């Protein structure tokens, strides 16, 4: 059963502000973020949970982006607080909330960039396809006029869409069920997004989405995100180019390194 209670709880626990997207770290799986879609009305469906690969029906991903050297790319790291552990970046941001305005603009930009970015991943089917007329390296997705669906990962962080989806799941706990579930509509109009009501209640047509080979391994995504322990976060960030006059005294209480293993995140 889709863990819609957990989905709701996860949203109310931390409402992080969107700071940017860090791309999808998968060569094979199609990621569908609202901005990837051309304007239009799409028919979507949540895939039901799958043991081990996606036991709750969704995955919550929270990261920080950290710049260690000027003009260099940002490191994307897991937020440990999102995994119910202590997170040095989160602790630091709380401290800096008081003194933020005393730093230079360049420092402020580096601090702001560390703001946690939370998004949710849902395996779905959607009647979209890569725009055959586009010559872009990453062509936008357009509605497939034949109505044929593909399996994809829906990545959303927009609170309004998440609230609507949660409300639908509360009203219809079997929304993602293979037999009892329903298709629904996602509408994009510029930067306006909307979820339609239930569109079509019928068994899922794309049976191949559930083969051993094709069901998305949602817990394996974002492999390239670095997992730094609390102590590693501290050691690296205290030497960041922007951190020279920023107090790091909160680390006196830093727990030992090795909070989490390097394996998959536990949810």
Where along the sequence are the contacts to Zn ion (CB under 5 A)? 79, 81, 87, 89-90
CB of residue 225 to Zn ion, shortest distance in Å:
12
* DSSP letter assigned to residue 84: T
Minimum CB distance to Zn ion smaller for 121 or for 237: 237
Minimum CB distance to Zn ion smaller for 66 or for 124: 66
H or E element, residue 185: strand 182-189
* DSSP letter assigned to residue 246: S
* DSSP letter assigned to residue 161: H
Based on the number of CB atoms within 10 Å of its own CB, is 113 exposed (0-12), middle (13-18) or buried (19 or more)? middle
CB of residue 134 to Zn ion, shortest distance in Å:
37
Minimum CB distance to Zn ion smaller for 89 or for 243: 89
Helix, strand, or coil (residue 108):
helix
Q: Please enumerate in sequence order all residues whose Cβ is within 8 A of that of 99, keeping only pairs 6 or more positions apart, or say none.
A: 247
CB of residue 23 to Zn ion, shortest distance in Å:
20
Minimum CB distance to Zn ion smaller for 20 or for 160: 20
CB of residue 114 to Zn ion, shortest distance in Å:
8
């Amino acid at each position: 059963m889709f863990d819609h209670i957990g989905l709701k709880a996860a949203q109310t626990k931390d409402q992080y502000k969107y700071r940017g997207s860090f791309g999808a770290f998968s060569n094979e799986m199609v990621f569908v973020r609202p901005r990837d879609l051309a304007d239009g009305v799409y028919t979507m469906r949540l895939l039901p949970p799958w043991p081990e690969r996606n036991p709750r029906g969704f995955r919550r991903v929270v990261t920080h982006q950290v710049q260690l050297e000027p003009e260099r790319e940002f490191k994307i790291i897991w937020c440990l607080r999102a995994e119910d552990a202590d997170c040095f970046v989160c602790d630091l941001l709380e401290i800096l909330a008081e003194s933020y305005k005393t730093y230079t603009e360049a420092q402020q930009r580096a601090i702001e960039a560390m703001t946690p970015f939370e998004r949710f991943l849902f395996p779905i089917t959607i009647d979209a396809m890569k725009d055959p007329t586009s010559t872009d390296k990453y062509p936008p997705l357009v509605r497939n006029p034949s109505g044929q669906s593909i399996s994809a990962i829906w990545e959303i962080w927009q609170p309004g869409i998440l609230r609507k989806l949660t409300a639908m799941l509360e009203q219809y706990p079997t929304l993602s069920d293979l037999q009892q579930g329903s298709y629904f509509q996602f509408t994009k109009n510029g930067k306006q997004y909307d979820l339609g009501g239930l569109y079509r209640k019928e068994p899922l047509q794309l049976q191949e989405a559930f083969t051993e080979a094709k069901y998305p391994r949602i817990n394996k995504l974002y492999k390239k995100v670095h997992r730094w322990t609390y102590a590693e976060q501290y050691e690296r960030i205290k030497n960041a180019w922007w951190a020279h006059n920023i107090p790091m005294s909160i680390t006196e209480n830093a727990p030992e390194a090795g909070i989490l293993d390097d394996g998959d995140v536990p949810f």
